[in-house]
Amino acid sequence: MAGTTGNVDTRDPLAPDGAAAGPHGGEEPARRRRFGRPVTWVTVLVFGLFFVNLAGVIGVPLVDSFGSRWFTTWLPEGWTTKWYGEAWDEFALGQVFWATALVSLLVVLLSVAIGVPAAYALARRSFPGKKLVLLLFLLPILAPPMTYGIPLATVLYKFHLAGSFTGVVLANLVPSVPFVVLTMTPFIEQIDPRIEAAARMCGAKTTAIFLRILAPLLVPGILAASVLVLVRTVGMFELTFLTAGPESQTLVVALYYAMFSAGIRTQQSIDAMAVMYMFSMLVLLVIALRFVNPTQLVTRVKEEQTEK
Amino acid sequence: MTHFGSLRMEKVSRSFGRFRALRELDLEIEGGEFIALLGPSGCGKSTALNCLAGLLPLTGGAITVDGERIDNVPPERRGFGMVFQNYALFPHLSVHDNVAFGLKMARVPKAERNLRVAQALALVHLAEHARKRPGQLSGGQQQRVAIARAVVLEPRLVLMDEPLSNLDAALRLEMRTEIRRLHQRLGLTTVYVTHDQEEALSLADRLVVLRDGTTQQIGTPEEVYGSPANRYVAGFMGYRNMLDVTVTTGAGAGGDGGRTRVDLADGRLAGTRRDGAPDAGDAVAAVRPEDLDVAAAAGAADSGTDGLDFAVPATVEVVEYHGRELAVQGRLSDGQRVHFRTRTRLAPDDAVELTAPPERVLVFPREEAGAPDPPPRRPAAGETPDPKASEAVAP
Amino acid sequence: MSADAREGRPALRHRLAERGVDRTTMLVLPGVAFLLVLFCYPFVYGLQLSFQPAEGGGPFANYRTFFEDPYLRETIWLTLRLAVPAALINCLAAVPVAFRTRGVFRGRRLVMTLLVMPITLGTVLTAQGLLGYLGANGWFNKILTGIGIIDQPLGLVHNYWGVLASLVISGFPFSYLLTLSYLTGIDPSLERAAATLGASRRQRFRHVLLPLLAPGLAITFCLSFVLAFAVFPSAQLVGDPRGSTHVISIEAYEAAFQQFDYPMGSAIAMIMAAVMLVVVALVLTWRSLLYRGATGGKG
């Protein structure tokens, strides 16, 4: 342990490399190698365990979906791709993929259409009750979908909207609209309002300001928000599960039903379906990462702060 | 070029809720004039500019151009140009397109548009950067794009909101000259907002000094610099010493005009009485550091002030080396701080006698209605010898 | 933009604009209306519905049934038994790891991407993977028996442990990223200042970072807990939904959408929300008692 109690750290805390990499950046490599600190051990252990188990969790369905027979051995006895064809037919995945795409695209379009104007108002104006409005936009993101999903689905059933595409889209919009609002508000805040004033002073009317100035500046933010909403909607289980009918199931809900009735299905075709879902999510994730930081999928971590 | 005869602001006011940012500003601007609105941050100068631009609606008063009300005309139809503090260039458009934007909005045909953009860019020496994005330019270049964008429409009024405050000192001087040159060449009526008195004095035909939303003084640079209307304006114009004095009329250099004698700290000075200053009793004498002269240095202190009619004894506390001269902080016998400049070598604890020309000692009333202390000036402007100051001590 | 400045008294529109209410502000209305209809109204409706039991017996019949039937009442305890350890594990593991990795290091983006994966993939896929991975013939048991730690495969699925594992797999990245965001929000110069004042690394952590991080940690714990408390698919798929992982959301779902007793389903959903609120309130009260006056980790 490098810093036992009372052992004052004598290194210059303001050394340039220390400043760049936080308080530990100034550590001499040799010293670090000899006395690995407990924090480092814990980190390696936690990450190691986590990633090994994650690899297992992801690897098992992947291997199984390509295996012919797999019981007690480390790996299957042989390899095949037939499960994919079977899963496609057995679970009517054509319909499921279509439903997933339709729901996600509608959710993205509508949440952008409702969320971006709201984000603009929140970024540009301070008005009485603004804190309350912000809380209203924060709650659906923080509350787990299962909590508000049950009353929401009850209401949707009451108005005969549940079980249809409309119901699924409406339910998925509840967390998506606030998500767009909370991603776009800081984005719009960093666009200087004086740019709009400057356009006005150049003789531009409101429509011209919107079309020629605001829209081009907002495009990157809207793209990022859309991709994030897309990933979250495709992966959203609870809300879709509570509101979907047989025709409007998305992939993740279909996977759940397949697993739930696992006794009467072949395990491998369920795994094949899981791999297809995993693959679509990974494709979306890769696309998403072209636009945003990985952490933005979860929290609004300011990466720039740590990388500066 | 579209000129107006005159633009009148009558009792123009703007409040934000209870806060009165601008109170009853009366100002008449002649076509072709260069007006500077001067004051510290929060004095209402930017509010006044935004009201003029139409970006902020008025809460009272009227603005007329040649007798025609314009305060309810939206900003895009007032035909004014504006240069913003942080440039506010459109980041997604090239320099050329930034300048062309207003012409496009005015539906100017493409050929003429390109010609006028090219002329405007040439005017600000940016012709070779036309294809670049604003982000690729330096601060000074961006500011010049902003100016080109504002003047290319040949607006009847150009509004400038602290256009130089984001630039470093050297660039600021260069751009100041540039703005002056453009005004002389194009003759565009300009309203310029700044907190820098040097900038205002060097650029403007007339100055409007504001404080807490109220007009303090309107006048030419000479008037405002030489005879500030009150203590506050004096403080803002570099009268750094605000000394508590007692006025004793009749004595001293009396006779002409507002000359009077003031007593302070075992000494006395001859001064000029300004509006509202009492005939006798407590008052404040405002003196610039560069107007205080060291009449007698070390050793003279023993003899008191007997040798001189008008002088104040002081003890040197801090001496700063400023190249051609020393900036000295001293203390009077009654504890008041005094700042002065000298070329005499001085060291802390030296005793000195200070004098000042009577016309440079301005006597103001002690109490001004709710007057806080004069605002601190920017250190750079306050501590570097400005041209006028160095003249005073030059051999 | 134009103001009716001719009259002495400004027009109503102007007075509203001064308070920030103008046409631009109105853009917030569609979003607010949407959430009022689809987020707030369902809650109010559900609350009101829960007091109208399907089988009569007074407004509180549903709640009485829930608390009188041990099988139903137990769900609260069973869910807490999963959610509290899961949230604690996730937060306690997140602090040192976030502490160590807050600087810039090679492969940071890769690690972040890997961490985000289980969240992106979702609980259903995690459950599917866990079934195979932790099963009696799965790789996990094979490795342990291979090393010789155990003789018999551990029963890790279709019971408490499977669900806990799933909650950790999907919850840890969440609490880690949240903790990291709070930690990076603390001005690094504070810690450097403490170092110049002679504080050792441990003292810096104990007396500077931890107090600054505490409010953020409390929030992280609350969010992790709330997330784990609403566990549903993994309790069904890798747990024992009739026994040790008969969690409250399963009961709420079954009441509402399998027995079509909407009032009972709503009542259970309300109880679920109430338990969450109680725990969150307890944590936040404890925090404000412990660290009164500490400035938030967010800078």
Give per-residue pLDDT as tens, C215-261. 888 889 998 999 899 889 888 888 888 888 899 999 999 998 888 88
Q: Which H or E element spans position A60? A: helix A38-66
Task: Round to whole Å and give the CA distance between C299 and C284.
Answer: 20
At B192 the pLDDT is 94
Q: Which two tokens stand for residue B362?
A: 């301005």
Asked whether C42 and C35 are in contact (CB, 8 A), the reply is no
Q: Specify whether domain B241-365 bears CATH 2.40.50.140.
A: yes
- The CA-based dihedral angle spanning residues B72, B76, B78, B84, taken in that order and rounded to the nearest 10 degrees: 110
ipTM associated with this complex: 0.82
**Which residue from C minimizes the CA distance to A64?**
C132
Which residue in chain A has the smallest CA separation from C127?
A57
The answer to whether the beta carbons of residues C86 and C168 sit under 8 Å apart is yes
From A196's Cα to the closest Cα of chain C, the distance in A is: 13
The number of beta carbons lying within 10 Å of the beta carbon of residue A247 is: 13
Q: CA of A15: which chain C residue's CA is closest?
A: C192
pLDDT for B59 equals 85
Give the 3-state secondary structure of residue A54: helix
CA distance linking residue A155 with residue A243, whole number of Å: 10
From the CA of A287, how many Å to the nearest CA of chain C?
12
- Please tell me if residue C19 touches chain B, with a CB cutoff of 8 Å: yes
Chain C neighbours, 3+ Cβ pairs < 8 A = A, B
Distance from CA of C25 to the nearest CA of B (A): 16
The closest of C107, C50, C64, C115 to C270, measured between CA atoms, is C50
Contact A65, C119 (CB under 8 A): no
Whole-angstrom distance, CA of residue B86 vs CA of residue A197: 12
Q: To which H or E segment does residue B272 belong?
A: strand B267-273
Q: How far is CA A227 from CA A174, A179, A298, C112, in A?
A: 17, 11, 13, 17
Residue type (1 letter), C184: T
Dihedral sign computed on CA atoms, order A8, A11, A14, A18: negative
Strand order of the β-sheet with B6-16 is: B19-30, B6-16, B60-65, B68-69
Read off the amino acid at residue A68: S
Cα B240 from chain centroid (whole Å): 15
Domains annotated for chain C, with CATH where assigned, are 69-290 (1.10.3720.10)
Nearest-neighbour CA in chain C from A47: distance (Å): 8
Q: Identify the residue with better confidence: C103 or A104.
A: A104
| Residue B362 burial (CB count, 10 A) | 25
- What is the Cβ-side half-sphere exposure of residue C171, based on CA atoms within 13 angstroms? 32
CB–CB of B45/B38 below 8 Å? Answer: yes
Q: Which of A3, A31, A26 is nearest to A15 (CA)?
A: A26
Q: Measured between CB atoms, which of A114, A127, A293 is closest to C21?
A: A127
Rounded to whole angstroms, the Cα distance separating A54 from C165 reads 11
B239 within 8 A of B228, measured Cβ to Cβ? yes
The tokens describing B339, both together, are 């700042």
Query: Which residue in C7, C8, C3 sits closest to B51, CA to CA?
Result: C3
The answer to whether A280 touches A234, Cβ cutoff 8 Å, is yes
Contacts of C288-297 with CB under 8 Å at 24 or more apart are: C290/C214, C291/C211, C291/C214, C291/C215, C294/C211, C294/C212, C294/C214, C294/C215, C295/C212, C296/C185, C296/C215, C296/C216, C297/C182, C297/C183, C297/C185, C297/C186, C297/C212, C297/C213, C297/C215, C297/C216
Sign of CA dihedral C240, C243, C249, C253: positive
| Domain B6-226 bears CATH identifier 3.40.50.150 | no
Sorted by where each begins, the domain ranges of chain B are: 6-226, 241-365
CB proximity A302 to C under 8 Å? yes
Indicate the SS3 state at residue B355. Answer: strand
Closest CA to A302 of C102, C226, C190, C222: C102
> How does pLDDT run across C112-132, given as a tens digit for each residue?
888 888 877 888 888 888 888
pLDDT at residue C210, as a whole number: 83
Q: CA B73, CA C3: separation in Å to the nearest integer?
A: 9
Exposure string over C179-199, b if 16+ CB within 10 A, otherwise e: bbbbbbbbebeebbebbeeeb
Whether residues C184 and A301 touch (CB distance < 8 A) is answered with yes
Residues of chain B falling short of pLDDT 70? 1-2, 249-258, 296-309, 368-395
Closest CB to A22 among C31, C38, C102 = C102
Strand partners, B15: B20
User: CB of A173 within 8 A of CB of A140?
Assistant: no
Neighboring chain B residues of C11 at a CB cutoff of 8 Å: none
CA B149, CA C52: separation in Å to the nearest integer? 68
Of the CA atoms within 13 Å of residue C201, those in its CB half-sphere come to 17
Question: Does the distance separating the beta carbons of A298 and C173 come in below 8 Å?
Answer: yes
Coil, helix or strand for B136?
helix
Cβ contacts of A191 on chain C, cutoff 8 Å: none
Q: List, in sequence order, the alpha helices (H) in chain C.
A: 12-18, 29-35, 41-50, 61-68, 70-100, 108-133, 139-147, 160-184, 188-196, 201-204, 210-229, 233-237, 248-257, 262-290
What's the DSSP call for residue A199? H
Which residue stretches of chain B are H helix? 45-53, 95-105, 110-123, 139-151, 169-186, 197-203, 221-226, 231-236, 379-383, 387-393
Query: What's the pLDDT at C14?
Result: 67
- The most distant pair of C-alpha atoms in chain B lies apart, rounded to whole Å, by 82
- Quick one: pLDDT at residue C117? 82
What are the CB-based long-range contacts (under 8 Å, 24+) for C184-191?
A: C184/A301, C184/A302, C184/A305, C184/A306, C184/C102, C185/A302, C185/A305, C185/C216, C185/C296, C185/C297, C185/C298, C185/C299, C186/C212, C186/C213, C186/C297, C186/C299, C187/C299, C188/A19, C188/A22, C188/A23, C191/A23
CA-based angle C146:C151:C156, to the nearest 5?
90
pLDDT of residue C89: 94
Residues of chain A with pLDDT under 50: 1-35, 300-308
In whole angstroms, give the CA distance from residue C249 to residue C235: 9
Task: Say if B74 is an interface residue toward chain C (CB within 8 Å).
Answer: yes
> How buried is residue B256: exposed, middle or buried, by Cβ count under 10 Å (0-12/13-18/19+)?
exposed
CA distance A128 to C18: 11
pLDDT of residue C284: 87
Chain centroid to Cα A144, Å, comes to 14
Distance of CA B243 to the CA centre of its chain: 22
Q: Give the SS3 label for residue A59.
A: helix
CATH topology of domain A85-307: MetI-like fold (1.10.3720)
Q: Residue C73 phi/psi, 5° resolution?
A: -60, -40
Residues 62-81 of A with CB under 8 A from C: 64, 71-72, 74
Tokens standing for residue C203 = 């003292």
The string of pLDDT tens digits covering residues A52-61 is 888 888 888 8
Which of B:62-121 have CB within 8 Å of A?
Answer: 74-77, 79-82, 84-86, 88-92, 101-102, 105-106
Return the SS3 of A203.
Answer: coil
Is the Cβ of B10 closer than 8 Å to some Cβ of chain C? no
Cβ contact (<8 Å) for C173 and A289?
Answer: no
Q: What is the mean pLDDT of chain C?
A: 84
Tokens of B169: 């000192």
Chain B neighbors of A194, CB-CB under 8 A? 84-86, 88
Q: Model confidence over A182-215: pLDDT tens digits?
A: 889 988 998 888 999 999 998 888 889 988 999 9
- For chain A, the farthest-separated pair of C-alpha atoms sits apart, in whole angstroms, at 76
A222 touches chain B (CB under 8 A): no
